[in-house]
Amino acid sequence: MARELELKYGCNPNQKPARISMQDGELPVEVLNGKPGYINFLDAFNSWQLVRELKAATGLPSAASFKHVSPAGAAVGLPLSPVEKRICFVEDLKLSPIASAYARARGADRMSSYGDWAALSDICDAETATLLAREVSDGIIAPGYTDEALKILKTKRKGGYNVVKIDPDYVPASIERKDVYGITFEQGRNEIRLDESLLGNLITKNKDLPKQAKRDLLIALITLKYTQSNSVCYVKDGQAIGIGAGQQSRIHCTRLAGNKADIWWLRQNPKVLSLPFKADIRRPDRDNTIDVYLSDDYMDVLADGIWENFFTEKPEVFTREEKRAWLNRLTGVSLGSDAFFPFGDNIERAHRSGVQYIAQPGGSIRDDNVIDTCDKYGIAMAFTGVRLFHH
């Protein structure tokens, strides 16, 4: 391992020179293939921290799909149902626990995961490499790779796929620094431990927080710790299903993440699963087409005859009423927020996407309104007292 690594350029091609380096000691990473760039490494180091903490908190293999320094998805390695395999396009693959974690992470928001950076808490095996090899992805970080997995990954992107190995025992300095406009910022690293002890202060009438909900709330909070703020995260069955990152208002986070959670659930409707795609349609084009099919613009697409580019026959319309009826079946969703909810409108929106459990710091002057709105829908909410801003 080296003490510094020169990069092609920074965030943009005009930003030169660029490098990553260590003041003391050697870099804890080794580039096994490709030539990762500045943004690649930002994604790699943030995503590695996320999956490392998910594994520590849940005891399960964990994976993340990152884009532009925020997760598009994060998940633990639970088995996928037949329907989940179909919406993740992995029904034909053998999935190990770590491959299941990545399939879930990428399947949360497949459009945002296009060209992602993948992160694994465990050694990358051949099953995960096979899955990655057929998706559009920029690179991967993991604590190690089997020989077969590395061989598979080196064939991707004409041999240029970025493969980074990180030392799992590396411990960063407790003080972190960065320069902005020639001025150095310094702060203690956010080393707060996120565990079930944070979920004990249930301030709603409903104080029932099942084990599965506790796990999902921890997944939400840990995901938020590495998501650009403001941010909100919806989680169900061990995977993030909607992440709203980098919004200036809390309600826009909640809407953005809720809309993504809705699409994840709507993709499981029989009408979507049976869409008559042409045989040669690529997975990314299927993702884009499904997104249009589920949007309010679909009637215009039908009228313009664009459907003929993708389908063998005109698909049946999925009406707004049918969508709402299907969304009403979504339940058991957990929601985390990196800062307090200032108004009850966030809870109203969360309820529409099946949220039954919430963890947030609390501390708004309108906490009573937020609590009352939770009680209106029987939602259990914990005040963690911990803010998780990340910039």
Residue 44 to residue 31: CA distance in whole angstroms: 12
Residue 229 to residue 336: CA distance in whole angstroms: 13
Residue 295 to residue 362: CA distance in whole angstroms: 34
* DSSP alpha helix (H) spans, the chain: 38-58, 82-87, 97-107, 126-133, 147-153, 211-225, 250-266, 270-273, 283-293, 298-304, 320-327, 345-351, 367-377
Residue carrying structure tokens 């590395």: 150
- Per-residue burial over 138-169, b if 16 or more Cβ lie within 10 Å, else e, is bbbbbbbbeeebbebbbebbeeebbbbbbeee
- Strand 137-142 and strand 162-166: pairing? parallel
Residue carrying structure tokens 């249930």: 202
Residue carrying structure tokens 């870099």: 27
3-class DSSP state of 272:
helix
Cis amide prior to 270 (ω within 30 degrees): no
Q: Catalytic positions, please? A: 67-68, 230, 391
Within 10 A of 125 (CB to CB), how many other CB atoms are there? 20
Strands in 129-227 per DSSP E: 137-142, 162-166, 175-180, 183-188
Within 10 A of 302 (CB to CB), how many other CB atoms are there? 14
Single-letter residue type at 231:
S
Residue 104 to residue 314: CA distance in whole angstroms: 30
- DSSP 8-state code for residue 10: S
Q: What is the torsional sign of CA 84, 241, 322, 284?
A: negative
Nearest to 236 by CA among 380, 352, 353, 337: 353
Residue 29 to residue 164: CA distance in whole angstroms: 7
